[in-house]
Chains A and B, each alone.
Chain A
Amino acid sequence: MEFNFNIEGGNFSHAGAASSEVKKVLKQLNVDVSLIKRIVVALYEAEVNVVAHAYEGMMKVVLSSDFIEVTITDRGPGIPDISLAMKEGYSTASPQVREMGFGAGMGLPNIKKNCDKLEIVSKVNEGTTVKMTTFFS
């Protein structure tokens, strides 16, 4: 199965809509609830990152019987130093983002914690691709 969702940059009122759709699908497929939580928390963090830090993005979800692979690609400023961005507490979030309850610099480390495989590719002034894979067993 494959699904695609758009992610609007800057629009916090829709942030999470794509992750929420994925959660519904996983529930229908009777995936274990604690596994669903791990998967959707990672997706939501990555989705909020597009809303908070980029201009627009796409979420592509590939579901098979043994794994879920989600690729979030955005057009945005990119991440100049990925290993720095992965550090707990590192954040360039704007005051508006902080007002929404985000910007602690904990998102990327939390994504890493909650998925089995994480790959990040980014090009400054072009955008970022975050690919998260989780196995069902």
Chain B
Amino acid sequence: MTLKEIVSLLQAEVICENNHLDKTVKYAFAADLMSDVLRLDTSEMILITGLANLQTIRTAEMSDISYILFVRDKQISPEMVELAKESNIALIQCKQSMFRVCGELYIAGLKPIY
């Protein structure tokens, strides 16, 4: 599905799109632990996380992850948005819990990376 479809399914808010809204997303990985994200060999995915700080963006930057979805209405700081723009990463945000988001996206066809 496209990032745009994910946004409308979850009634999510787009924080910064960096021209990624029409991109197709096939895989997802959910984690609050950046140590876990850094161990992945795949980059083609959306990162679903409840951890909203600069290190989330840095971790995505280093891992070549282009899309991040923040769950549970987290505060996204201006510094995070700035870094995401520099690194060409789309940030979206929704209110639902991690479990619900993962369930809905799984049903909608997103695949786990392993």
Tell me the A residues contacting B by CB distance below 8 Å.
Answer: 12-13, 15-16, 19-20, 23, 33, 37, 40-41, 44-45, 48, 100-107, 110, 113
Contact = CB atoms under 8 A, between A and B. Distances in A.
B43 interface: yes
A30 to B, nearest CB: 15
Interface of B: 32-36, 38-39, 43, 51, 53-56, 58-59, 61-64, 79, 87
B38 A37 contact: no
Majority DSSP secondary structure for residues of A touching B? helix
Given A23-B61, A44-B38, A101-B56, 17 more contacts: A12-B53, A12-B55, A13-B79, A15-B54, A16-B58, A20-B62, A20-B87, A33-B64, A37-B62, A37-B64, A100-B55, A101-B32, A101-B34, A101-B53, A102-B55, A107-B38, A113-B39
11 contacts: A15-B55, A16-B54, A19-B62, A40-B62, A45-B38, A101-B35, A102-B55, A107-B35, A110-B38, A110-B39, A113-B39
Question: 9 shortest A-B CB distances, which residue pairs?
Answer: A16-B58, A101-B34, A104-B35, A106-B35, A44-B62, A101-B51, A40-B62, A100-B55, A41-B62
